[in-house]
Amino acid sequence: MGLKIVISPAKKMNEEDVPPHPKGLPALVDQTRILLRAMKTLSLEEAQAFWQCSDRLARLNYERFACMELESARTAAVVSYEGIQYQHLAAQIMDERCLAWLDEHLRILSGFYGILRPFDAVVPYRLEMQARLAVGNARDLYAFWDGMLARVLVDEGCDLVVNLASVEYAKAVVPHAKSLGLHVVTCLFGTVRPSDGKLLQRATEAKAARGTFVRWCAEQTVTTVDAMRAFAERGYAWDEERSDASTLVFVQS
């Protein structure tokens, strides 16, 4: 069974020549070049309105796009992103066995690159999947990427997608994956509210849980959904009653 876990990127990125080192450029880099050309047509004022960020961040990212050369990337995607999820995934301290598992089973979704293998070479950018960037006949990035991300997974031999991505990024691949006949299982991490038994998912803790889950899967060399049910880090346990064929629910005590 070709299992792939998909996760979201992080907004904050670094550009350092640190291990694990990149192995090559992303699969959809030609499409990324199209987006890069579109971003370079924006003025600083247009870019800041597009990003809705501070003057400092707008100038930083505007300058990044202005002088960006995709082929000069020297940082692997899995260590370039700096968010909470990636801190808990901790690829920088994994051994070769765990890194090999990541290479085979982990994929990172991206508004700019589409879909990334963990050791694809990337440059820092700011372009979220939900951004309304019109490119050609595509009104936004969802329309631009369309079914390309899911087709990459199919070409890699995937038949099971384990979705750990946020809703924003999952929308770019999950519907297309299902239409191509891939089975999709979404993992949820939360606590149960005593007053009504509702599952509560807190954003910061969910990011930490997702990163921890990926690291645990790599350490256990997990290749099936059944094996994932044994996850018990950070006080979580699989909740059989809340889970079903398309959802794995983990509840934190």
For residue 49, the model assigns a pLDDT of 86
pLDDT tens by residue, 105-125: 999 999 999 999 999 999 999
Tens digit of each residue's pLDDT (9 = 90 or more) over 137-154: 999 999 999 999 999 999
**Can you tell me which residue has the tokens 């598992």?**
101
Domain of 195 in residue numbering reads as 3-252
Matching residue, tokens 């440059």? 123
Predicted local confidence at residue 219, as pLDDT = 98
- Residue 204: per-residue pLDDT: 97
- At residue 50, the pLDDT reads 84
CA 77 – CA 124 distance, rounded (Å) = 9
Strand partners, 249: 188
Q: Which two tokens stand for residue 242?
A: 């809340």
- Alpha carbons 122 and 129: distance in angstroms, whole number: 16
What residues contact 128, with CB distance under 8 A and at least 6 apart? 11, 111, 168
Helix (H, G, I), strand (E, B) or coil at 3: strand
- Total structural domains within the chain: 1
Q: What pLDDT does 1 receive? A: 59
pLDDT in tens, the chain (253 residues): 599 999 999 999 999 888 999 999 999 999 999 999 999 999 999 999 888 889 999 999 999 999 999 999 999 999 999 999 999 999 999 999 999 999 999 999 999 999 999 999 999 999 999 988 999 999 999 999 999 999 999 999 999 999 999 999 999 999 999 999 999 999 999 999 999 999 999 999 999 999 999 999 999 999 999 999 999 999 999 999 999 999 999 999 9
Q: What is the DSSP string of 165-199?
A: S-HHHHTTTHHHHHHTT-EEEEEEEEEE-TTT--E
DSSP 244: B
